[in-house]
Amino acid sequence: MKKIFITSILFTAISVLDGCVGNTGSTGNATADVRSKEIYEWRIYSLNDDGNALDDFFKTTLIPAYNRKGVSVGAFTSYKEEEVKLRYLLFVYRDIASFHKIKKEIWQDTVFGKAAQPFFDATAPNPVYSNFETFLCEAFDKIPQMRIPDKSRTLFELRTYHSPNEEANQRKIKMFNVDEIDIFDKTGINSVCYGEVLAGSRMPALIYLTWYKDETTRNEAWSAFVGHQDWARIKDMPEYAYTATNNRSKLLSPLPYSQF
């Protein structure tokens, strides 16, 4: 009888603890377990040439190595040809522990090392890019895992919202979690992923990616958003005042080897 009583207490304690920790299959509400929130690593490469050698390296060597470790990678270029030639890579990690583990393991991957060495040897004396800028982001509670774009997509939009201070940045993230993403869903602004910038060259900030069938549907969606009654309701609410005072938008095209 005593053994049964002790077992019952242990079972109850484990059940309560499990409920407190949460379920990694979160549906994206404001109580999403931190372990279920993806980590996004944006890399923005400034090219020295046409980018063909770097594209080939990404396609045949770098991305397959990350795929073997469970990381999918999006690859993009500037939508407008007249802009400075850049390459945008988006690495999607399951969580922050995976990010740390894989960043260590990738350089211990002998298959990757053997395949990559010819590229490294050739480009060390003749660099194909001048540098790359990195932004490390944690997914929002509202969308803890990215939404895969439709295959009809031809245009992506990458937006960076810079806040005057960290408290304002937290209020802007709340604005997205509580209201703004829902309005996007209603007006045809198709969400891919949203991230609070944990480390980057411009902080405090958030970064998000959306997709569209083409530029016309993108413009129509934003017009619908600006005119939507829910946006009119929230845009001047005191709790959201001065939350994002410097916003940047980049239109991107997916490269043929992009995985979303």
72: left (phi over 0), alpha (psi -120 to 50) or beta: beta
3-state secondary structure of 223: helix
Distance between CA atoms of 66 and 83, rounded to whole angstroms?
29
Q: Averaged over 230-239, what is the pLDDT?
A: 96
pLDDT at 26 over 60: no
pLDDT at 6 over 60: no
Total number of domains constituting the chain: 1
* Assigned domain for 223 exists: yes
Q: What is the pLDDT of residue 35?
A: 55
The CA-based angle 103-107-108, given to 5 degrees, is 110
CATH number of domain containing 67: 3.30.70.100
Cis peptide before 204 (omega within 30 of 0): yes
Is 0.75 topped by the overall pTM? yes
Residue in 21, 222, 38, 18 with CA at minimum distance from that of residue 142:
38
Q: What is the pLDDT of residue 80?
A: 87
* Assigned domain for 42 exists: yes
Q: Averaged over 68-74, what is the pLDDT?
A: 98
Q: What is the pLDDT of residue 36?
A: 84
Q: 199 is in which domain, residue-wise?
A: 34-254
Distance between CA atoms of 82 and 69, rounded to whole angstroms?
36
* Assigned domain for 174 exists: yes
DSSP string, 64-116: HHHHTTT-EEEEEEESSTTSPPEEEEEEEESSHHHHHHHHHHGGG-HHHHHHH
